[in-house]
Chains A and B, each alone.
Chain A
């Protein structure tokens, strides 16, 4: 989580020379914030002449974060439906399981829908998680229509009075219109009987600048409500998540920091900013 530890350790608090600014730019770029964002942060920081330089960098960053709620909604009347989406291999299924575990620990009754009917052994993968968690997993046959599986699960979650329905979907590249249309259909079909409250876009923390394009197109297609950023236990800084939150006003809701159920936490922007300042 100490995204800029290195950066702040390196930059002196006093006079900021051109060299420091170049170094700051490099660090921001190497954290995957992107060349454009890096430049903006530097310009902004430079323009706040009377402020401590580090403060102005922090302020610039915090002001760019979304003001939207980072909570997952809850409804005592009917199931809250959460759709998990993203490109291939980002950690959707693992995150779906982690989220189910998280909600279960809040004493909620959770159901999972295995709507990835495409990838080899995807259904089995989420079923294994379901067994470990003691959470029911609704599934169809391999190659079944994912919308039908999701619809079936939605129906059951209503009649069986579940608090949450988490729908795991197949990974798909945002550039494939036909697959994006398939995802839209999943949402549309479920919404015939119950609103989809959350669409969580799973962003791999090691992703580079393409992450923004991914989130943007998924957002246009199915209306993303928040981000889950995964694989932050590695050496990647995850800067693209910050850049994406800032650019699209999509709050990061959870972060994944490992392969086990508990390697999962709410994204705390305050804590995050504290991390930044506590150096």
Chain B
């Protein structure tokens, strides 16, 4: 999502690096670049400016030490990263469970922001945590919104409370209240109330939202916002904050290429944490939000920690351990591994999501390639890999023309498809290697990757410490203590 921001940070940093010795003017210049990048990313003007001012101030103050440092851009990078994390909301927070169940979660937001889809995903997520969620259809406004939630509920195998057909008929306040009562009666420990989309300026509808809130006294009100939203994000967020109030934010449609900056500035301006991200149209396309990870994602570092955790969730223990070992030990990732893990990968939603978290995957061409890696492709890929000999799977380099033709015939796919798989695989393999060796990741100056990889890999058992630079300023973000790989446990942290 942060492609261009990543690119611009990278070019700003490499400009600095090439200069060797940083002057005060260089920092101003870089800050100008960052401002432009943030605005192009739809970060609210006020937030962008305060961000840039803070970075500038800190970098200027650190100038004497920076000059001593052998790796100046890295030191500045640390400042930017830190400030970015603070824009993104400081520390993550999870859903607070009510002392006396049910925990009531109310969704609110603009029309078309993705509330109904998110409701289904939340239900699906809680259900996979062993909870017993109930969905409540209190959007009685949009034609067939009730219907849509019911379908979503069926897909998530979660019950839905939908006494009204909607389409402009029925009282959403009553539905919400009855829904919570129903949940209490039937011992559902979590209730998710979907509400109609409304504009911040619509006082009447905002009052209705307030009335729903007062009727059900939610433990969490989540403001659902489209990551494509522009500068209006802060006005709208403020209107919802004043109108109905909210405790957290969910960011949707993050699978697109919108930078999402404006939505992120909501966290800064409203002091409410972003809690969830929605990354696709399927139920599984959902994740908790990690500010630190998002910051590294902005900076083009990929999301190694999420990757490892998702892998853990989907693979059985052995496979996960093996994958982790591969990351850490530096064994080559072969087509054989690829095939072995493919079945497991299907479990965790789309492949592109997984691969998208790899470092470098955010940069232009690579991302595009990954995004279009659809489920059908997994099946086709499987057919192709299965037509290879074990040696070929381990060493795709030996795949000459006649071998490829044989594989194409054997798998019923075209040679072009075989070629494309091999190319894609090589790219992925190269990325894995790069990441492991701490070499330069596309879009970032060499060396910079390491400090972040080391922090990011705290969740892996073996930090890539051999390349950790020695001259990092001590104001680097603190190394996170290892988080539980189990999202349920993490949710309670």
**Chain A positions near chain B (C-beta within 8 angstroms):** 26, 29-32, 34-36, 87-91, 118-122, 124-125, 128-129, 173-178, 204, 206-211, 213-214, 231, 233-237, 239-240, 259
Question: How many angstroms between the C-alpha atoms of A173 and B150 in the bound complex?
Answer: 24
Chain A residue nearest in CB terms to B155: A120
Q: Is the CB of A32 within 8 A of B371?
A: no
With a CB–CB cut-off of 8 A, which chain A residues contact B232? 32, 206, 234-237
The 5 residue pairs across chains A and B that have the minimum distance between CB atoms: A208-B230, A89-B112, A208-B42, A120-B151, A236-B232
Q: Is the CB of B236 within 8 A of A175?
A: no
Question: How many angstroms between the C-alpha atoms of A89 and B109 in the bound complex?
Answer: 12
B252-271 interface bits toward A, Cβ cutoff 8 Å, 1 = contact, 0 = none: 01011111011000000000
Kindly state whether residue B188 has any CB partner on chain A within 8 Å. no
Task: Choose from B41, B230, B281 the contact partner of A32 (Cβ within 8 Å).
Answer: B230
Chain B residue nearest in CB terms to A123: B144
With a CB–CB cut-off of 8 A, which chain A residues contact B41? 209
Chain B residue nearest in CB terms to A93: B143
Question: How many angstroms between the C-alpha atoms of A90 and B110 in the bound complex?
Answer: 11
* Contact A35:B42 (CB < 8 A) given known A174-B256, A206-B229, A231-B111: no
Q: List 26 A-B contacts (CB under 8 A).
A: A31-B231, A35-B39, A89-B112, A119-B281, A121-B150, A124-B144, A125-B148, A128-B143, A128-B167, A173-B253, A173-B257, A175-B255, A175-B257, A175-B368, A175-B371, A176-B372, A178-B372, A208-B42, A208-B259, A210-B257, A210-B258, A234-B202, A234-B232, A235-B239, A236-B231, A239-B230
Least Cβ–Cβ distance between B110 and chain A, in angstroms: 6
Kindly state whether residue B429 has any CB partner on chain A within 8 Å. no
Least Cβ–Cβ distance between B137 and chain A, in angstroms: 11
Question: How many angstroms between the C-alpha atoms of A236 and B148 in the bound complex?
Answer: 27
With a CB–CB cut-off of 8 A, which chain B residues contact A237? 231-232
**Chain B positions near chain A (C-beta within 8 angstroms):** 36, 39-42, 45, 110-114, 141-145, 147-148, 150-152, 155, 167, 199-202, 226, 228-233, 235-236, 239, 253, 255-259, 261-262, 281, 368, 371-372, 374
Task: Choose from B236, B368, B371 the contact partner of A206 (Cβ within 8 Å).
Answer: B236
Looking at A30, A89, A175, A231, the one whose CB has the most chain B CB atoms below 10 A away is A89
Looking at A31, A124, A239, the one whose CB has the most chain B CB atoms below 10 A away is A124
Question: How many angstroms between the C-alpha atoms of A118 and B371 in the bound complex?
Answer: 19
With a CB–CB cut-off of 8 A, which chain A residues contact B257? 173-175, 210, 213
Question: How many angstroms between the C-alpha atoms of A120 and B154 in the bound complex?
Answer: 10
Task: Choose from A206, A209, A231, A259 the contact partner of B141 (Cβ within 8 Å).
Answer: A259
Q: Is the CB of A231 within 8 A of B231?
A: no
Q: Is the CB of A204 within 8 A of B143?
A: no
Q: Is the CB of A210 within 8 A of B259?
A: yes
With a CB–CB cut-off of 8 A, which chain A residues contact B114? 88-89
Looking at B40, B111, B199, B230, the one whose CB has the most chain A CB atoms below 10 A away is B230
Looking at A31, A177, A207, A236, the one whose CB has the most chain B CB atoms below 10 A away is A236
Q: Is the CB of B112 within 8 A of A90?
A: yes
Question: How many angstroms between the C-alpha atoms of A210 and B42 in the bound complex?
Answer: 8
Task: Choose from A32, A36, A89 the contact partner of B113 (Cβ within 8 Å).
Answer: A89
Q: Is the CB of A35 within 8 A of B40?
A: yes
Task: Choose from A120, A128, A204, A209 the contact partner of B42 (Cβ within 8 Å).
Answer: A209
With a CB–CB cut-off of 8 A, which chain B residues contact A210? 42, 228, 256-259
Q: Is the CB of B144 within 8 A of A128?
A: yes
With a CB–CB cut-off of 8 A, which chain B residues contact A208? 42, 228-231, 233, 258-259, 261-262
With a CB–CB cut-off of 8 A, which chain B residues contact A207? 226, 228-230
Known contacts A175-B371, A208-B233, A208-B262; 18 further A-B pairs (Cβ under 8 A): A29-B39, A89-B111, A89-B114, A120-B148, A120-B151, A121-B145, A124-B147, A125-B143, A175-B257, A177-B371, A204-B228, A206-B232, A209-B259, A234-B200, A234-B201, A234-B232, A259-B141, A259-B142
Question: How many angstroms between the C-alpha atoms of A128 and B165 in the bound complex?
Answer: 12
Task: Choose from A34, A119, A121, A231 the contact partner of B40 (Cβ within 8 Å).
Answer: A34
Chain A residue nearest in CB terms to B42: A208
Least Cβ–Cβ distance between B420 and chain A, in angstroms: 13
Q: Is the CB of B226 within 8 A of A206?
A: yes
Q: Is the CB of A235 within 8 A of B199?
A: yes
Chain B residue nearest in CB terms to A29: B45
Q: Is the CB of A121 within 8 A of B42?
A: no
Q: Is the CB of A121 within 8 A of B226?
A: no
* Contact A206:B230 (CB < 8 A) given known A26-B45, A88-B112: yes
Least Cβ–Cβ distance between A147 and chain B, in angstroms: 17
With a CB–CB cut-off of 8 A, which chain B residues contact A175? 255-257, 368, 371
Q: Is the CB of B143 within 8 A of A236?
A: no
Task: Choose from B148, B151, B199 the contact partner of A234 (Cβ within 8 Å).
Answer: B199
Question: How many angstroms between the C-alpha atoms of A88 and B113 in the bound complex?
Answer: 9
Chain A residue nearest in CB terms to B238: A235
With a CB–CB cut-off of 8 A, which chain A residues contact B226? 89, 204, 206-207
Question: How many angstroms between the C-alpha atoms of A165 and B115 in the bound complex?
Answer: 30
Looking at B201, B253, B258, the one whose CB has the most chain A CB atoms below 10 A away is B258
Least Cβ–Cβ distance between A251 and chain B, in angstroms: 21
Question: How many angstroms between the C-alpha atoms of A120 and B281 in the bound complex?
Answer: 10
Chain B residue nearest in CB terms to A118: B281
Least Cβ–Cβ distance between B254 and chain A, in angstroms: 10
Question: How many angstroms between the C-alpha atoms of A26 and B44 in the bound complex?
Answer: 10
Question: How many angstroms between the C-alpha atoms of A236 and B257 in the bound complex?
Answer: 21
Task: Choose from A36, A118, A129, A204 the contact partner of B112 (Cβ within 8 Å).
Answer: A204
* Contact A234:B236 (CB < 8 A) given known A88-B114, A89-B226, A209-B42: yes
With a CB–CB cut-off of 8 A, which chain B residues contact A177? 368, 371-372
With a CB–CB cut-off of 8 A, which chain B residues contact A211? 228, 230
Question: How many angstroms between the C-alpha atoms of A68 and B147 in the bound complex?
Answer: 40
Question: How many angstroms between the C-alpha atoms of A85 and B166 in the bound complex?
Answer: 26
Q: Is the CB of B374 within 8 A of A178?
A: yes
Question: How many angstroms between the C-alpha atoms of A3 and B42 in the bound complex?
Answer: 18
Question: How many angstroms between the C-alpha atoms of A235 and B236 in the bound complex?
Answer: 7
With a CB–CB cut-off of 8 A, which chain A residues contact B144? 121, 124-125, 128
Question: How many angstroms between the C-alpha atoms of A176 and B356 in the bound complex?
Answer: 13
Question: How many angstroms between the C-alpha atoms of A109 and B143 in the bound complex?
Answer: 23
With a CB–CB cut-off of 8 A, which chain B residues contact A120? 147-148, 151-152, 155
With a CB–CB cut-off of 8 A, which chain A residues contact B261? 208
Question: How many angstroms between the C-alpha atoms of A174 and B253 in the bound complex?
Answer: 12
Least Cβ–Cβ distance between B371 and chain A, in angstroms: 6
Task: Choose from A178, A206, A213 the contact partner of B110 (Cβ within 8 Å).
Answer: A206
* Contact A30:B231 (CB < 8 A) given known A178-B372, A209-B41, A233-B199: yes
Question: How many angstroms between the C-alpha atoms of A213 and B368 in the bound complex?
Answer: 14
Question: How many angstroms between the C-alpha atoms of A105 and B295 in the bound complex?
Answer: 52
Least Cβ–Cβ distance between A54 and chain B, in angstroms: 22
Question: How many angstroms between the C-alpha atoms of A32 and B229 in the bound complex?
Answer: 10
Question: How many angstroms between the C-alpha atoms of A233 and B185 in the bound complex?
Answer: 41
Q: Is the CB of B199 within 8 A of A231?
A: yes
